[in-house]
Chain A
């Protein structure tokens, strides 16, 4: 099983600032990584797939990158609607696995 480790667990950021979220995989993923955003009481929403491709309708302030088994989600300038929990997920092999999540909170 590929273990996905997200850090930090909580990130405190002021509106307008940049947020950088990390996700580390225990095995190479060949870019088969997705990022999701989840707000309280809502289902997750796909942000990024293929490690760096934005899903339809996702603003350009969200970007994904990778370096080996380290993946990064960057939100360039946080808006009020971006405060949420973010999850990474690998789809390189079975079982599909998620990271534990990073909560982005208002500083």
Chain B
């Protein structure tokens, strides 16, 4: 079955760190760009970060640049995001999402179920 499974969410104090993981299965992970998208409770969707299939290029929203680092382990079919210096406004459900190509057309054709990150204010 083709799926993405996020883990690593939880409650972290402001200024703290957290690493989210996304385990992929059912497709050739190394062939596709991968992404993180977040959703504030009750609000809309916000793109966070993307990484090319080969891991050779990464992209970040201004709101997380310098604090979050996206990475991938193609041999283990896992996507990561290291989140440092967390703020209350980072509180959201974080989704892992696959793009249909290796390095272009960054829309999202497969989503995980999400993991909740809470940073109390």
8 Å CB contacts to B: which residues of A16-51? 32, 34, 36, 42-46, 49
Interface Cβ pair total, 8 Å cutoff: 52
- Chain B residues with Cβ below 8 Å from A95 are 47, 59, 61-62
The CA of A42 and the CA of B61, in the complex, are separated in Å by: 24
The CA of A34 and the CA of B50, in the complex, are separated in Å by: 16
Contact A44 B45 (CB under 8 A): yes
Contact A44 B111 (CB under 8 A): yes
For B95-110 the 0/1 string (1 means CB < 8 A from A) is: 1000010000111111
The CA of A101 and the CA of B108, in the complex, are separated in Å by: 16
Contact B44 A100 (CB under 8 A): yes
Contact A96 B106 (CB under 8 A): yes
Smallest beta-carbon distance B71→chain A, Å:
18
Size band of the interface chain A makes with B: 20 to 34
Residue from A32, A94, A99 with most neighbouring chain B CB atoms (10 Å): A94
The CA of A44 and the CA of B35, in the complex, are separated in Å by: 14
Contact B47 A34 (CB under 8 A): no
**Known contacts A43-B95, A98-B45, A100-B44; A91 and B105 CB within 8 A of each other:** yes
A55 an interface residue at 8 Å Cβ cutoff? yes
Contact B111 A45 (CB under 8 A): yes
Residue from B59, B105, B108 with most neighbouring chain A CB atoms (10 Å): B108
For B23-57 the 0/1 string (1 means CB < 8 A from A) is: 00000000000000000000011110010000000
Q: Give A residues with C-beta under 8 Å from B.
A: 32, 34, 36, 42-46, 49, 55, 87, 89, 91, 94-101
